[in-house]
Chains A and B, each alone.
Chain A
Amino acid sequence: MSHSRNQKWREVGVLISLIVLGLIMVSPLIWTVMLSLKSNGELLRSTANAFNPPYTGENYAAIMANSGVFRWLLNSAFVSTLQTLGVLILSSLAGYGFARLEFPFRNQLFLIVLFGLAIPEQAVIITRHQMFADLHLHNTYPGLILPGLAAPFGVFLMTQYFKAIPKELDEAAMLDSASRFKIFWKVLLPLTLPAQATLGIFTFLASWNDYWWPLISATRADMFTLTVGIASSQINFAQTSGLGYLMTQAVFASLPILIVYIIFQKYIVRAVAGAAVR
């Protein structure tokens, strides 16, 4: 009796702690939303009144009327989606190849891929900038998308994942008269879905949040991604005008990623937990 009551109190305690922690986590988001509903004049005086009326929709009206935000949102969505798809396709094919096919220099090539994991973006960005400038790829979508497709982590992850699938499945499918592509497509690929989800989510988030390369590659406002676009709206550090407007842009920027989080919550938790356990 007392044992189960103790347990109940413990559960209540855990629940309350989780609620408090959750509120702390989302408070910046709520804060941002609230501030985006305030007029610039009020925000200049103080931001302490975020949770007290009056509220205004003028910042949202301003965004609807004029701003590159929608364009940047579309750019970000387009670049992130294509980059994610590209990484998933290339990593799956490469992972299958490294895990299942016999070809000359396979291990050496895999080693080169692994080296790719150790090379920081900073080390190659100047060369990459020059290369893309020579190829006239700056201020184009391929210019924004292509660098992200070189994903050594994806190749490594998928290789390990394919290796973990028992070869007996390939063999059973061979005896079932399946072609090599059919074995890849119908038997093995569906089994890598958890890895695809993990890789897809991480790639999408990284691409969406990427700031440095788009800052270098996209110099025209119509080619900005959301991160670069919002940063370009910050005219000076004193920031005496457009404070609420900036917050509204931030809300717009966060919304898609929030939606992705909510839809793929299950997979993200699993992916992060899996990464921790391993």
Chain B
Amino acid sequence: MSALDIRNVTKAYGPTTVLDDISLTAESNEFIAFLGPSGCGKTTLLRMIAGLETVDSGQIHIGGQRIDELAPGERGVAMVFQHYALYPHMTIRENMAFGLKNIKTSKTEIDARIGEAARILEIEAFLDKKPGQLSGGQKQRVAIGRAIVKKPDIFLFDEPLSNLDAALRMRTRLELAQLRRRLKATMILVTHDQVEAMTLADRIVVIHGRKIQQVGTPMEIYGRPANRFVASFVGSPPMNFLPVTVSGAKAVATLSDGTVFATAITNLPESRSWELGLRPEHVRVNDTGVSAKVEFVERLGERTLIYARLSDGTAITAEDVGLSRLNMGDEVHLSIDAQAAHLFDADGRGYHAETA
């Protein structure tokens, strides 16, 4: 039995459909990330699970029980909000106790649960402070603590790290990963940050254009993107797309300047047009290869990103060593690892080498 089972769920605001016939299951103790650009409906889907949005059609089940018609408090879920949503006039202890008091939990039980959560999250020192006296990171812990004490079947995280500065975000991300191992609960995270999704989730659900684009493990999403959108959205800097012609059973791609690549991709169908997909790490500055002109150089320390243009005008991003001597305007040669290439047909569907 799945921990979460979303069946053919649709949601519209007036004439605008935001989610169209979404189906998805999550296993017990699984960490799922909803990943997509702003406005793709990922938060709406999370809020429908929480009961903060109605479901137009379809059903949602948690632990085998249908919950989409229950009140939010009766669904066995706890949510960590983007802006924490701590009650400002209550102490941290009261914040954490509020939900338990409402379901008539005994005082000793409430104290025990708060004590345990506070110990796990190391927030014992400020249990009697008010949220206004805490820093952003501390508020985040309290928000998670308020969810933990409820012992929910499913934790829902709505972009929980987006309000933290870069350093704190990284630390909290690590802590969230550790917490997840300790709590052994089903968790759903909404994020537009692919690094968060890649590092935290067991499976990523990429949502775009009202639909689920792909469901898979982080490396499946990265290595075998189902379509051009997933390929372009996941990965930073994004994948290169080069128009090519394709021939042969083991696809041989030809660039507009006549350069030929033998890819490892087989069993391609017919298509009006093809695009070759190449991650920047598979395009390297070299002594030989396709020639291009450097337009911009981004020095990241351990590596250098080269933004260049091929002779036919196609933009391409390549990688060079950290101490690259390249400058804007230089002519370079780029060697392309065709074995790691992806192909996308006219409809954007992705094809990958069997080994990739």
- Residues of A whose CB lies within 8 Å of any CB of B are 166, 168-169, 171-178, 182, 186-187, 190-191
Contacts and interface: CB of A to CB of B under 8 A. Distances in A.
Contacts of A177: 71, 73-74, 99, 102-103
Contacts of A174: 51-52, 71-73
Nearest to A169: B85
24 contacts: A166-B83, A168-B83, A169-B85, A169-B87, A171-B79, A172-B85, A172-B86, A172-B146, A173-B98, A174-B51, A174-B73, A175-B50, A175-B51, A175-B72, A176-B73, A176-B99, A176-B102, A176-B150, A177-B73, A177-B102, A177-B103, A178-B102, A190-B89, A191-B88
A178 B85 CA distance: 15
A175 B77 contact: yes
Given A174-B51, A178-B98, 8 more contacts: A166-B85, A172-B81, A174-B71, A175-B99, A177-B99, A178-B73, A182-B102, A187-B87
A171 B73 contact: no
Contacts of B99: 175-178
B293 to A, nearest CB: 50
B141 to A, nearest CB: 16
B83 A172 contact: no
Contacts of A186: 98
Contact of A172 (B71, B77, B79): B79
Given A175-B99, A176-B99, A168 B71 contact: no
A60 B253 CA distance: 108
Contact of A175 (B73, B86, B88): B73
B78 interface: yes
A173 B146 CA distance: 11
Instruction: Tell which of A168, A172, A177 has the most Cβ of chain B within 10 Å.
Output: A172
B50 A191 contact: no
Contacts, number: 57
A177 to B, nearest CB: 3
Contact of B79 (A166, A175, A187, A190): A175
Interface in B84-128: 85-89, 98-99, 102-103
A16 B87 CA distance: 44
A182 B99 CA distance: 11
Instruction: Tell which of A169, A173, A175, A191 has the most Cβ of chain B within 10 Å.
Output: A175
**6 closest A-B pairs (Cβ-Cβ)?**
A177-B73, A176-B99, A168-B85, A172-B85, A177-B102, A174-B72
Interface in B264-294: none
Interface of B: 50-52, 71-74, 77-79, 81-83, 85-89, 98-99, 102-103, 146, 150
Contacts of B52: 171, 174-175
Nearest to B50: A175
A168 B81 contact: yes
A168 B87 CA distance: 10
Nearest to B152: A175
Contacts of B86: 172
Contacts of A191: 88-89
Contacts of A190: 89
A90 B8 CA distance: 45
Contacts of A171: 50, 52, 72, 79, 81, 85
A192 to B, nearest CB: 10
Contacts of B72: 171, 174-175
Contacts of A173: 87, 98
A171 B49 CA distance: 13
Contacts of B87: 169, 172-173, 187
Contacts of B83: 166, 168
A175 B146 CA distance: 11
Nearest to B52: A171
Contacts of A176: 73, 98-99, 102, 150
Nearest to B82: A168
Nearest to A165: B88
A190 B91 CA distance: 13
A63 B263 CA distance: 107
Contacts of B51: 174-175
A227 to B, nearest CB: 37
Contacts of A166: 83, 85
A203 to B, nearest CB: 23
B72 to A, nearest CB: 4
Nearest to A176: B99
Contacts of B98: 173, 176, 178, 186
B322 to A, nearest CB: 43
A178 B74 CA distance: 11
B100 to A, nearest CB: 8
Nearest to B81: A168
A166 B85 CA distance: 8
A176 B77 CA distance: 10
A153 to B, nearest CB: 25
A59 B146 CA distance: 64
A168 B99 CA distance: 15
B74 to A, nearest CB: 7
Contacts of A182: 102
A175 B213 CA distance: 30
A137 B51 CA distance: 50
A174 B51 CA distance: 9
A182 B87 CA distance: 13
A177 B76 CA distance: 10
A178 B71 CA distance: 10
Contacts of B82: 168
Instruction: Tell which of B83, B85, B146 has the most Cβ of chain A within 10 Å.
Output: B85
B93 to A, nearest CB: 14
